[in-house]
Structure 1
Amino acid sequence: MILNNRTQLNITRQGILALVLFSTMTTLPCCVFLFINLTMLYTLRSKVVFVETSRYILLFNLLFADTTQLAQSQSMFLLSTTRVTMSYSVCVGLTLLSFLTISVSIITLVIMCLERYIAVCYPLRHSAIITTRNTGWVICVIWCVSLFHVITQLSLILRFSFPDLQLTQMIDFCGKESIFLDPASDLYYRTFTYFLFVLGGVTVFVTYTGIIVAAHSASTDKASASKARRTLLLHLLQMGLTVSSTIYISLLIAISKHVGRLEAMRIQVFLYVCIIIFPKCLSSLIYGLRDQTIRPILMLNLCCQRSVLIPDVSAKDKIKIHKSV
């Protein structure tokens, strides 16, 4: 009897140590990337050149959505690893927030691909088409479409009648599998998600092909076209990873039914880092390291040093900025 008690105590200690280790392994990189993303957001609002350039405005919108989703995902991850349950209404709110930010991220990436295509293939018309005002309207449309998606999803969720739903305490992971009790909700979610992914894939394919064709023209800047192609491929990778994050909870629930708790936690950490944390830091890495305009100011802000002064840019300088990535 004493031996059994000691064995159970050792197992309990191992579980606690594993829980602390896994939580630390995810929280530390998440905090680092949250700091980088927040610094990047501050950088994109610290200079006039960023505020008045359409590409950087779109980047700010993308980073804002990714940063919000990263903070929300880390909160839900810690709650799930510590087995803290929540009410159904709170889970619905957090899950719908995730739907909103994912939709905004994917649609923004689609618009950024189109912006790169216009910048390379129609450089003389770029400044007339991609204006600050038009970019603002596009961002409003992105958020309106995403909000409409969330409202539609919420209306489908509430179609299912629950007694005292707002007081119902959940006993499992909080995710779309836990709140989609009506098959229509899951069908709509899958249809909308697949539509966004197909839309993004087709957009990248068309714009990438157009840039390749334009690169053979004598009037096209070869270096700019090459950078734009690499940027489009990175955006495609972001879209794929963002869409894959929608099946994270499904994989986790399926795996936890066939393996022990420690093994499930190890797999959970691996999947979480690969398909949740990594996609949300790609934008900062892509533009923070590759963009020659952002990089020096971002590095100074990350080191908490005084930023260098950037003079007002002319129209000719703005064209160079558009071609920097």
Structure 2
Amino acid sequence: MSYATQTNITVGQRGTLEIVLFSAPITLPCCVFLFINGIMLFTLRSKQVFRETSRYILLFNLLCADTMQMALSQLLYLLAACRITLTYPLCGVLAMLADLTTAISPLTLVVMSLERYVVVCYPLRHTTIITMRNTAVAIIAVWAFSSLNIVTQVILLLDFPFEDLESLQMTDFCAKVNILLGQMSGLYDKGYSYFLFVSASVVVISTYIGVMIAARSASTDKASAQKARNTLLLHLVQLGLSRSSTIYNPLVIAISKITDRLAALRILSILYVCIFLFPRCLSTLIYGIRDRTIRSILMYNLCCRLSCHPSKG
């Protein structure tokens, strides 16, 4: 995630007013998205039905990761916009935390897709397979696998001869691309990103096909199968958007070469919102609108409990 690369295009000295004008159009939508996600997280903890239903627990985990990733992304973006450099250790912690939460999203989408598959294809065994215990195990496994990736990256970084550096103070802005100091670190990061995207895509597509096949069975609830199929299709879209950040750096380089500075900044600002910020709020928009159980309570909370009334449930 090269939040700094976009800012590096702005060569030359900028005053405080220019920094504010440069950052405000990005920070405002981010604050709106963070507020909406925060309300959604509160909503998912406000009712017992949400706290004791597997798909809502998984959704809460997904939103937690997306909200943390959005906040960290914006922090790194603002540091770059303000031309604030950090030390390698501090930048490494922030970048690794952002990378950890980024990997949580596609893995959680995989688990959520499998849960929908079980609901449709094994309805009689759903309550024995999708239990609170199994859901907790799945969430722990997701975080453990993502953490293992971070540990591997740290081990690869330790092989870099930091003693050859004049100082641990970074000369560039804090971004993951700027702390992948060794060749092996860069190769591993690309390999892991591709492996994660391909593996998650295969699972989600397979569950989608499985649900479509099951929907043709006479014993299958057609309405439930149709709803599950639409949900899985949305999961696939979410997965694609969540991994679209991998194309950001090449786009930054290409756009900076063919356009002037002002035009490049405007285009890249829009891309940053679309690629990094909007996908992190997509889960709230999808479930907040589609799920009847969540919708009324979410609107009630968004209205600050003034004019909306939640339905009983």
1:254 and 1:78 mapped to 2: Cα distance? 23
Residue matched to 1:295: 295
Per-residue deviation, residues 129-149 of structure 1 (Å, max 9, x unmatched):
001111001111111111111
Matched, 1:216 2:216: yes
The one-letter amino acid paired with 1:64 is: C
Q: What is the match of residue 85 of structure 1? A: 85
* Secondary structure in structure 2 of the residue aligned to 1:220: coil
Q: Give the AA of the match of 1:83.
A: R
Asked if 1:148 corresponds to 2:125, the answer is no
Amino acid at match of 2:85: T
Q: Distance in 1 between matches of 2:81 and 2:13?
A: 15
Q: What's the Cα RMSD here?
A: 2.2
1:88 touches 1:165 (CA, 8 Å); kept in 2?
Answer: no
> 2:203 maps to which residue?
203
Q: Would the aligned equivalents of 2:296 and 2:311 in 1 still touch at CA under 8 Å?
A: no
Amino acid at match of 1:303: C
Could you say what secondary structure the match of 2:162 adopts? coil
* Equivalent pair of 2:44/2:56 in contact (CA under 8 Å): yes
Count of aligned positions:
300
In structure 2, the residue matched to 1:70 is: 70
User: Cα distance, 1:264 vs. partner?
Assistant: 3.2
Q: Kindly report which structure 2 residues correspond to 1:152-171, keeping only aligned pairs within 5 A, or say none.
A: 152-163=152-163, 167-171=167-171
Aligned-partner residue type, residue 277 of structure 1: L
- Asked if 1 retains the 8 angstrom alpha-carbon contact of 2:297 and 2:311, the reply is no
- 1:228 offset after TM fit, Å? 1.4
Distance 1:309 1:223 in 2: 22
What is the identity, as a one-letter code, of the residue corresponding to 1:293?
Answer: T
Cα distance in 2 for partners of 1:175, 1:246 equals 13
Q: Which amino acid aligns with 1:266?
A: R
- CA separation in 2, counterparts of 1:103 and 1:119? 25
User: How many Å separate the matches in 2 of 1:234 and 1:53?
Assistant: 20
Amino acid at match of 2:217: S
The corresponding residue for 1:274 is 274
Alpha-carbon offset, residue 277 of structure 1: 0.6
Contact 2:205–2:236 under 8 Å retained in 1: no
Residue 107 to residue 186, structure 1, CA distance change in 2 (3 Å): same
* Alpha-carbon distance in 1 for matches of 2:176, 2:94: 10
1:166–1:113 distance in 2 versus 1, CA, 3 Å = farther
What do residues 277-308 of structure 1 show as CA deviations (whole Å, max 9, x unaligned)?
11101100110110000011111111111764
Cα 1:225–1:310 shift into 2, 3 Å: same
The 1-side partners of 2:54 and 2:97 are apart by 26
The one-letter code of the counterpart of 1:131 is T
Please report how far the alpha carbon of residue 150 of structure 1 lies from its aligned counterpart in structure 2 after TM superposition. Answer: 0.4
Matches within 5 A, 1:14-53: 19-53=19-53
1:144-194 C-alpha deviation (Å, 9 max, x unpaired) = 111111011111012101128695222324222211121111111111111
Residue 256 (structure 1) shift: 4.0
CA contact (8 A) 1:89 1:165 kept: no
Q: Please give the residue correspondences for 1:54-69 in structure 2 after superposition, counting only pairs within 5 Å.
A: 54-69=54-69
**Which one is further off, 156-165 or 266-275?**
156-165
User: Does structure 1 conserve the Cα–Cα contact (< 8 Å) formed by 2:86 and 2:173?
Assistant: no
2:161 counterpart SS class: coil
Q: Structure 1 length normalisation: TM-score?
A: 0.86
SS in 1 for 2:163: coil
Query: Per-residue deviation at 1:83?
Result: 2.0
Post-superposition Cα deviations, 1:91-119, rounded to whole Å, max 9, x if no partner, equal: 21111111100111110001001111111
Who is 1:232 aligned against? 232
Separation in 1 of the partners of 2:290 and 2:117? 18
Deviation at 1:16, TM superposition (A): 6.1
The aligned amino acid for 2:81 is T
Structure 1 residue runs of 5 or longer lacking an equivalent are: 1-10, 312-325
Could you list the per-position Cα deviations for residues 55-102 of structure 1 after superposition, in whole angstroms to 9, with x for gaps in the alignment? Answer: 000000000000000001111111222222222222211111111001
The unaligned stretches of length 5 or more in structure 2 are: 1-11
In 1, distance between residues paired with 2:152 and 2:56? 31
Residue 125 of structure 2 aligns to a residue whose secondary structure is helix
SS at match of 1:124: coil
Report if the CA contact (8 A) 1:173-1:249 is conserved: no
Cross-structure match for 1:8: none
Aligned residues: percent identity? 58
Between stretches 141-150 and 216-225, larger displacement belongs to: 216-225
Letter in 2 for 1:231: T
Structure with larger Rg: 1
Give the equivalent residue in structure 2 for 1:321.
Answer: none
Q: Does 1:119 align with 2:119?
A: yes
Q: Alpha carbons of 1:200 and 1:206: their partners in 2 closer, same or farther (altered >3 Å)?
A: same
| 1:224 CA displacement | 1.7
How is 1:120-135 mapped onto 2 (pairs within 5 angstroms)? 120-135=120-135
TM-score, length basis structure 2: 0.89
Contact 1:110 1:204 in 2 (8 A): yes
Instruction: Judge conservation of contact 2:66–2:280 (CA < 8 Å) in 1.
Output: yes
Tell me which residue corresponds to 1:176: 176
